[in-house]
Amino acid sequence: MKYQRPKGTRDIYARELKRIEKINSLAREFFEAGGYIEMKTPTFEYAELFARSVGENTDIVEKEMYVFEVNKRKYVLRPEGTASVLRAFIENNLSAPARIFYIGSMFRKERPQKGRYREFLQIGVELLGEGAPFYDAEMVEQAKRFLDLIRARDFTIEINSIGCPACRKLYQKKLLMFLKPKMNQVCEDCQRRFQRNFLRIFDCKNETCQQVYTDAPKITDNLCEQCFEHYTQVKRFLDSLSVQYIENKKLVRGLDYYTRTVFEFKIPGLGAQNTILAGGRYDLLMKQLGGKDIPCLGWAVGVERLLLTLPQHLPEIKLKKKFFVIGMGERFINEMIKIRNQIQNKDGICILGDPDTTIKRQLKRANRFDTDFVIIYGEDEEKKGYYTVRNMQSGEQKPVLKDNFPEYLKKLL
RNA sequence: GUGAGUGUAGCUCAACUGGCAGAGCAUUGGACUGUGGCUCCAAUGGUUGGGGGUUCAAGUCCCCUCACUCACCCCA
């Protein structure tokens, strides 16, 4: 094999592509009905943008971005959508509150595994300029409705509050006091995590680490008064909205910019990558990127992971009927074309057989193409002025007068 | 970046302790000259991922390398 696609990328075609397009179009309708506008931001951005938003010392920035340099300027293929949307919001002087959604490829240079690619599709939404707890709850409810719409099943909703920098600072001290004597019991990764992004230790998959953390103080129980009040109200609104959720005090986020409410939607049976949708509040990011000091929140869903969880036939895709035109000799070409055009104009799928070959061979082709109906045209048909229409499933076959064919077609389609 | 597993025909996979590289499906042709699927017969199809080594002999053992898969890190 001479050429191969780059590691972690996919060639998407036929049914798979149709399913993705279907999800995308459902998403568009869904978000537009909710008053959101679609935004397309560039696939690449200046590298600084993500260092500042996602976090200087997250792995995404340190080792997972596709960085390239042109004329001494550093660019990256975007690893996520939020930073770009905020940048665009600021740069285009949009007014808050703004409701924006996006659909597009993101890029991360990770080792691929199940449900993980180096180029992957995300659908995301951002609600810029709303700080009230009602909107936290509404976004969770919106995410749930979206998954319901595309008929994802068996997902669980986990929520938590990771507070603001003020409560986190006090909490960090408390956690350190608890963990200091136990540091030698946790894995190397956790020791490193504690230095860089200390909340992430709760994400560790190591069981002995988790045992240590079970008794550790949680950020959720150490929120400042305002954050606590906010979180309480978010949960109250979720109850009013009849959203079933699990409160997971160990739930944290990998990106640096999150504050207060965070949530993840998980589905079992996906291997290690069981989070299909995630989001939360990021009240400080807008200002950090040079915009006004306004609170924001959002979520994003990984399309590939989503598709892994949906049964093959979902989302429903209307199948067009397939036709195959058999001509019994080159001199029937014009009539074959005429038949084909009639079918295609009425939104049917139609391909032509090679009139130089036998009817047997053409039928075989038609069969392999998974044809619904075959139209046969040859000397007999010419003489008597009809088309022979063969139903490939039942094998039934009958002559249809040329004049009646458009009418007959309508019934078949 | 780290670890484990797997690479044999277009696809799915066999091949004992190192001893002639095979089967099913698919493809092509025929049985069957304007009628596909089913059946039967036959044919085509291979640098065993690549390179090196050990050996009389390597798909099999050793080393290197590439790719894929899963997991870790990280994350949707």
Q: Which residues pair with A373 in a beta bridge?
A: A323, A391
A115 touches strand B (CB under 7 A): yes
Chain A residues 204-243 within 7 Å (CB) of strand B? 204-206
What tens digit of pLDDT does each residue of A100-129 get? 999 999 999 989 999 999 999 999 999 999
Residue A335: partners with Cβ closer than 8 Å, 6 or more residues away: A327, A377, A382
For residue A152, the tally of other CB atoms under 10 A from its CB is: 21
For residue A176, the tally of other CB atoms under 10 A from its CB is: 12
Q: Which two tokens stand for residue A84?
A: 């770009």
Q: Which residues pair with A277 in a beta bridge?
A: A265, A301
Residue A72 has pLDDT above 60, yes or no: yes
Q: Which residues pair with A397 in a beta bridge?
A: A390
pLDDT score at A44: 95
More confident call, A14 vs A40: A40
The mean pLDDT of A366-394, rounded to a whole number, is 93
pLDDT band per the 50, 70, 90 thresholds, residue A402: very high
What pTM was estimated for this model as a whole? 0.91
A278 touches strand B (CB under 7 A): yes
Which bases of chain B come closer than 7 Å to a protein CB? Answer: 1-3, 27-29, 32-37, 67-76
pLDDT score at A142: 98
Distance from CA(A266) to C1'(B55), angstroms, rounded: 55
Chain A residues 313-332 within 7 Å (CB) of strand B? 328
pLDDT score at A53: 82
How many Cα atoms are found within 13 Å in the side-chain-facing hemisphere of A355?
18
Q: Which nucleotide is nearest to A392 (CA to C1')?
A: B36
The mean pLDDT of A362-380, rounded to a whole number, is 92
A57 touches strand B (CB under 7 A): no
pLDDT score at A131: 96
pLDDT score at A64: 86
- What is the Cα–Cα distance from A332 to A298, expressed in whole angstroms? 60
Q: What ipTM did this prediction achieve?
A: 0.85
Q: Which residue is nearest to nucleotide B73 (CA to C1')?
A: A189
A147 touches strand B (CB under 7 A): no
pLDDT score at A256: 77
Question: What is chain A's mean pLDDT, rounded?
Answer: 92
Q: Which nucleotide is nearest to A305 (CA to C1')?
A: B76
A381 touches strand B (CB under 7 A): yes
What tens digit of pLDDT does each residue of A242-277 get? 999 999 999 998 777 899 999 999 998 788 889 999
Phi, psi of A300 (to 5 degrees): -145, 150
A117 touches strand B (CB under 7 A): yes
What tens digit of pLDDT does each residue of A311-369 get? 776 667 778 899 999 999 999 999 999 999 999 999 999 999 999 899 999 999 999 88
What tens digit of pLDDT does each residue of A154-166 get? 999 999 999 999 9
Residue reference for tokens 């389609």: A413
Residue A1 has pLDDT above 70, yes or no: no
A163 touches strand B (CB under 7 A): no
Residue A233 has pLDDT above 90, yes or no: yes
